[in-house]
Structure formats: structure tokens, C-alpha cells
Chains A and B, each alone.
Chain A
Amino acid sequence: MSLTELFDDELIPVLRRLGDRPKGAGQEAPSEADTAARELVWATLADLGELRALLPVRLGGPVDALARLVATAEVMGPALFQSPFQDTVLAAELLAADGRHDTLLERIAEGTRTVAVAVREHGTDEPSRPAPLTTHDGRVSGTRRFVAFAPDVDLLLVAGDHEHALVAAGAPGLTLRRHDDIGRGDLHRVTLERAEPVPDGLLPHGPSYGRALARARIVQAGYLTGLVHGALELTVERVKSRSAFGRPLAQHQALAHRLAAAAAEATVVRSFVRSVARDGDAGQDIGSTAAQALFLAADLARDVTAEAVHLHGAAGLTEEQDISVFHRRAAVDTLTLGSPTALRREVAALLAARHHVLGD
């Protein structure tokens, strides 16, 4: 089986609804069937060897790891497959840089360990600057909100301003509360009260965090371009099947050109995302370009999903249409690894710094 065979026309509609619950259902947990389906997909990804791209080359990971991770994320996008994939990319890079967790990395590549990253305390926090984390006697305390899949994963990587803590999901002192969010996904508040990290589980905050974040960002950008292509595909089908003013919507130039422009933007951004992944695999610093690719992909995801709902007409606002899920999920997925505004600010600072240095 290949990746595209896994994410086939039968499974995709199921995956799009994973974790979903009725509006206003609040903190109700996802059904066991949903969790089981998610775990099954994850296990299949591991069986296909896709998760080996999470390993550094020294542990047998492929030399084109980032390109592969992006390719996997692109396939997940149209299925809106909600998983700790992007978080695990970030965590794996940090763990690989730390060098003390090779066994855990092997487990991650086998699909038997998953990691969620907990970085924000407040909604306005940005992942480039993790929230404060208090460490005392080797135990950590703090609050993290908007943590995806906290009950499903085996480990939480709690990113902090001075150090990061790797905490087992069931560790004493750790409590969870599910948020009720627009994506109706699996975001949680995590409270840590003197929680004990796993052995060697305190990792210093340093340059490797920025590199890990850049890798996760380009994978997230790949996911978002997949999401955009999925939304466009649904919408193209829709305008071909509906008529107005005596002819199919597809024959109205005003609509066709908007879809053509969106498809062009999506293809161009996807090309950029892939090229940044290749640069990363070639050992280049992708801090700035990954942020650029992510804000372009995020802008597009917001615009295209909103436009896609519009082109579905009022039906696009109903629970029945998958396009409404694309729109809601995009609202979450375009913020998790940095808001487009924050990403632009980061890139602008790097651009100014580069020219200042060149100017000298």
C-alpha cells in the first residue's frame, strides 16, 4: 500500500470528520471509534515507513527526510487528518539535536510513541517564544493551552522559555481539559503542577528549537497546501454540478477565474514549500523561508476555504458539507505554528538584519 492508497476516496470523508462533534457539545471527548481510526492510520503510516523520515540520518533516517515529511503532510491535508504529526516533527528534531533520546526516536519512527508540543499559555503567545515554565527540583509547573491531542499522545514536550520538559502523558501532577474550539478538534488545556519529566527529559532552550520549529513549519505549510487543494477540488466539483441563470456555475467566467487564480496560487505555494524542504534537506538554514512559506500557505488556506464556502452557496454553511469543516479547521491550522502576522514580523526582522549586515 502507498500513502495515496491509504488516503483514498473511501477513507478521506471519514478522516475529515474525526474528532468532530456537534456544535456546542463542549468538552465532550472524541469517540473511541474516532481515536481507534486515528491510531490505525498512524500505525499504517509507520508500517509504510513514512515515520522513518522523523529519524536523523545518523539513526538511519533518509537524506531527503524533510521532502518526505512534506509529501506526507500534503496527502494528509485534503483529508484534514488531525494528528500529532507536525508536533512530532518538531519534537523529533529537538530530541535528535539533544542526543540523549535515540531509543525514543526509534519508537517514534516505529509509530509506538507520539508526542504533542505544548508551547502557549495565552492565545497571543507565539511558538517562536515559548511561554514561561517553572522548574524546581527537576519538576515542572505551568499552564499550557491549545495543546492538540494531549490525551492521545504518549508524551508531552512542554516548551519553555529556558528549557523544555518531556513529560509522560499520565504523569502525576498533569491534568487536562478539552477546549471547545471552532475546529471542534482536540485542543486541550494542560496544567502541570510539579510534574516530573521523563529521565533526561529537561532539554535546554537554544538554537535547535528554532531549527525544529522551522522544520515543523514547512511540514505544516505542506499540510495547508494539501488542505487548499482539497477545498478547491470539492468546490470545482460543486460548481460543475450546480446551475444558475440557465447554465452550470462552472461556465460563469467570474467564478471560473477566481477558482483558476486560487488553483494557481496553491500550485505556486506548493512548489515553494517543496523547494524549501529540499533546501532544508541540503543543510541550508530555512528559518526565514519556512516562515515565508507558512504565511503564504496560511493566507491561502484562509482565503480559499472562505471562498470555497462562498462558492458552495448557503449549502456551504451547513454541517453536511465537508467544505464547512475545511473552513473551520483552517481557522485553527493557520495559527498553531505562528500567526501569519507574527511570521511576517519574524521574516521582516531577518530581512532587515541581513541587509544591515550586508550594509556593513
Chain B
Amino acid sequence: MTQAPPVTGIDTFREEVHAFFAGDTVRRTLAEVAAHAPGEEAAGLEVYRALGERGWLAADWPREYGGLGLSPREAAVVTEEMTLAGVPDDVHVLSIDIVGKFLLLAGTERQKKQHLPALARGERAASVLFTEPDAGSDLSALRTRAEADGDGWRLYGTKVFNMKSQFADVALCAARTSDGAIGMYGITLFLLPLRSPGVHVEPVPSVQNDRFNLVVIDGVRLTEADVVGEVDDGWRSLNDLLQLERTGIDFHGKARRLLDLVIRRAAETGRLADPVHGVRLAELDARLRASHAMAWQMVDNLAAGAPDPVASAMSKWYAGEQFRPVLQAGQEIDGMGSVLTAWDGEATADGVLEANVRLGPAHRLASGTSEIMLYLIATNGLGLL
């Protein structure tokens, strides 16, 4: 029940990382992102390369692959400081936390050497091609197929709602290699070179600042060398990884950044002294502190080699549910000021609140929807359903 005191080294590490995120490189990145015209999006952010130079982008990867060989705690500190600073983290999540981490655990030596160092240096990005027009949370319904072709396959299918594919060199792509009674079986994960003939990437207009992509794959030929993990059994092993590595640290960090903005606006507008607003913010602050404690408990579990997928689902679900009330409180506090976009030029808080109101519903959908989290808790945790 009683826990060991935190490792002191982590405090020093956090100070260094915090100082970096409070520094000029990050300021420039944030200014660059804020100055984007509608529809404009950065290919690679300077801050990623700066993090990569320090080995922080993938701090818990082995040194030979561009990390520092540190623990999940240090990796969580980087994620947390990145989200608290407001640095866009999609590339980090996709390239490092999903594709890179899966390669690290299930990839061949050749795949690791080919991809991981460049991802860890922030020089390259990888995207994730799972979702299809008719397959979201239920990946067993996917239609992208890998047709046998000599010693390999040819991939055909359409992937949608993926991000950063327009910049990425490679994507982790789920395709069906065989049919069977069990829906999850028969799905293989391929490393798909995105700059191949036969891959077509186009934007899908969305309400967010960063674009969604539609990726059409038309007969790209891949071989065993492009498969990550077991043929036919890729989805299960990736799903296991995602469940184990999920902590809620990133979701909490983003929600906390927003709440701190809302509290700051409440103080600036004098509304913090009004109990109608103050009490609401006191409650949201409590909920995010609880989310923070839970997320760090998940990190500590990982560091101790004892991840708890049910508790991790609880942590992600809880953090994801906090965005809506935080954003609503922000709208109440800033009033009509909250509806002006960054491009208007007169928005309060540089339009950050407006942009996040548009993005808000994404947090209950991304990285496993709230309903999937509840399903995991109900089944694996409570023995229901």
C-alpha cells in the first residue's frame, strides 16, 4: 500500500526537460504553429529535432536506437512537459509511442536499425493506418486486403482519419492476410512505404487545425521483410502493447494545460473571485489532480514492470472525459471572446480556446474511444458483458 518515495534523479531530469520546454526553441515552435494560415501545417517541427539531439524524444529506448536507455518515468516526464507546454504531440504519439515502440518490441533487427534511430532523432515521422471508412474501433471489420503475390503480398484498400501521413515516410498499416472465424485473427501489420507508387494521400477536410488524410493503397507490393510481428496475428500483439503502454499522461497534460489557461483567464477577468465560476474551477482542478495521480500511478506500474491494462483504461477514460467540462468552463469564463479564432486577430488567449473547442471531441475518440475503455474495464476488470 505504501509506496517508495520518488526517485530523486527524476526530479533533476524533469528540471532539465522543463527548462528546455520553457526555452527559445519551444517558443519559436509555438509561435510558428500559432502563425499557421488556415490549412497550413508544419512538416517537421524544430523542437522535435532538438529533443532528438538530446535523446529525449524516445528517452526510454536503448541508446543504440537513439534513446537514452532510461525508464518509462523519464519518457513520461518528456511527454508530460511537452503537452503542458502546448507543443503538438501527434508526431510523438504516432512515431515514437505507437510505431516506434511496436517496432522496438516486435520488429526485426533490420527494421529497428532502419527506422528507429531516424524516428528517435526527430528527423523522420511514421503514421498509423488502421482506421477505414467502415472500420473504426472495430478493426476486425477492416477491408484492406493483402493478396498473396509470390513470396509477398499486394495491398489494396483505403485508410482514413489518419494524421501526418502527408509527411511520414512510412506507416504501420493493418491489412487482412487471411479470413477466419475470429475477426481479430488474420490481420497483419505492415510497414508501408508511403512514398511508393500505388499510395495516394489526400486531405479530408476536418474541423481541426491539423488535417485528416485519406490514404488509398493500390497494389503496393510488400514482403515478409515489411511485416512487423507475426503474420495474421499483428493486431492482437499491437493491441496488447497499446493496452500496456497506455497511461493517460498525455491526455492529462493537455487537459491540464487547458484548465490552467481557463483559470488564468478567470483570474484576468476577475471571474475567479465569483464563486459561480470559482467553485466550478475548484472542482475541475480536483479532477485533473486526481487524473494526474492516476496517470503517474500507471507510469510507476510500467516502471516496476507491472502494468495494469484495466487501470490504464480507467486512467485514459477519466482524463479523456475532462476536456468537455474544462472547455465548457472556458467558454463560460471568456464568453463571446471564446468564439474568435486565432486568425481573427482579436481572440482572447490567441484563439487557443476556440481551436480546442473544435478539437475537444477528439480526446474521447483518440487512442481508444471512451466506450472501448469502458468495455475493457467492464470485461477484464469487472467480469461483466
Q: Which residues of B contact A240 (CB under 8 A)?
A: 383-384
B379: shortest Cβ distance to chain A, in Å? 8
- The answer to whether A344 and B279 touch across the interface, beta carbons within 8 angstroms, is yes
Tell whether, in the assembled complex, residue B294 and residue A267 are in contact, meaning their CB atoms are under 8 Å apart: yes
Of B275, B282, B384, which one neighbours A260 at CB under 8 angstroms? Answer: B384
Known: A68-B2, A260-B382, A265-B318. A349 touches B289 (CB 8 A): no
The answer to whether B1 touches A268, judged by C-beta atoms less than 8 angstroms apart, is no
B290→A293 contact, CB < 8 A: yes
Given contacts A250-B383, A257-B378, A263-B314, contact A344 B291 (CB under 8 A): no
Which of A104-112, A316-324, A350-358 interfaces with chain B?
A350-358
A250 and B374 contacting across the interface, CB-CB below 8 Å: no
The answer to the question of A223 belonging to the interface, with a C-beta cut-off of 8 Å to chain B, is: no
Q: What number of B residues sit within 8 Å (CB to CB) of A?
A: 43
Binary interface encoding of chain A residues 69-83 relative to chain B, with 1 for a CB under 8 A from any of its CBs, else 0: 001001000000000
Partner pick for B314 among A250, A267, A293, CB 8 A cutoff: A267
What is the CA–CA distance of A349 and B282 in the complex, to the nearest angstrom? 9
Give the total of A residues in contact with B, Cβ under 8 Å: 47
Within 8 A of B (CB), among A276-292: 276, 278, 282, 289, 292
Q: Contact between B314 and A268 (Cβ–Cβ < 8 Å)?
A: yes
Contacts of A351 in B (CB 8 A): 263, 272, 278, 281-282, 285
Contact (Cβ within 8 A) B377 A263: yes
A78 to B378, alpha carbons, bound, how many Å? 20
Asked if A260 and B381 sit within 8 Å, CB to CB, the answer is yes
Q: Which residue of B lies closest to A359 (CB)?
A: B267
Min distance, Cβ B194 to any Cβ of chain A, angstroms = 37
Judge whether B384 and A251 touch: CB under 8 Å: yes
Q: What 1/0 flags go to B359-385 for Cβ under 8 Å of A?
A: 000000000000101110110011111
Q: Is the CB of A263 within 8 A of B290?
A: no
A271 within 8 A of B: yes
- Given A351-B278, A352-B278, decide whether A236 and B315 contact each other with a Cβ distance below 8 A: no
- With A236-B382, A236-B384, A240-B383 as known contacts, state yes or no: A272 contacts B289, CB within 8 Å: yes
The answer to whether B294 touches A268 (Cβ under 8 A) is yes
A64 / chain B contacts, CB cutoff of 8 Å = 2
Contact B291 A268 (CB under 8 A): yes
Residues of A within 8 A of B382 (CB): 236, 256, 259-260, 263
A343 and chain B: residue at smallest CB distance: B282
Q: Does chain B have a CB within 8 A of A275? A: yes
The reply on B200 being an interface residue by CB < 8 A is: no
Question: Taking the nearest CB of chain B, how far is it from the CB of A352, in angstroms?
Answer: 5
Known: A259-B382, A351-B281; 13 extra A-B contacts, CB below 8 A, are A67-B1, A255-B384, A256-B384, A257-B374, A260-B382, A260-B384, A268-B290, A268-B318, A289-B289, A292-B282, A293-B286, A349-B278, A355-B267
Task: Report, nearest first, the 5 A-B pairs whose CB atoms are least far apart.
Answer: A348-B278, A292-B286, A272-B290, A264-B314, A275-B293
Identify the A interface with B (CB < 8 A): 64, 67-68, 71, 74, 236, 239-240, 250-251, 253, 255-257, 259-261, 263-265, 267-269, 271-272, 274-276, 278, 282, 289, 292-293, 295-296, 341, 344-345, 347-349, 351-352, 355-356, 358-359
17 residue pairs from A and B, CB less than 8 Å apart: A64-B2, A71-B1, A236-B383, A250-B384, A261-B317, A261-B377, A263-B377, A263-B381, A263-B382, A267-B294, A267-B311, A271-B290, A292-B289, A293-B290, A344-B282, A348-B275, A348-B279
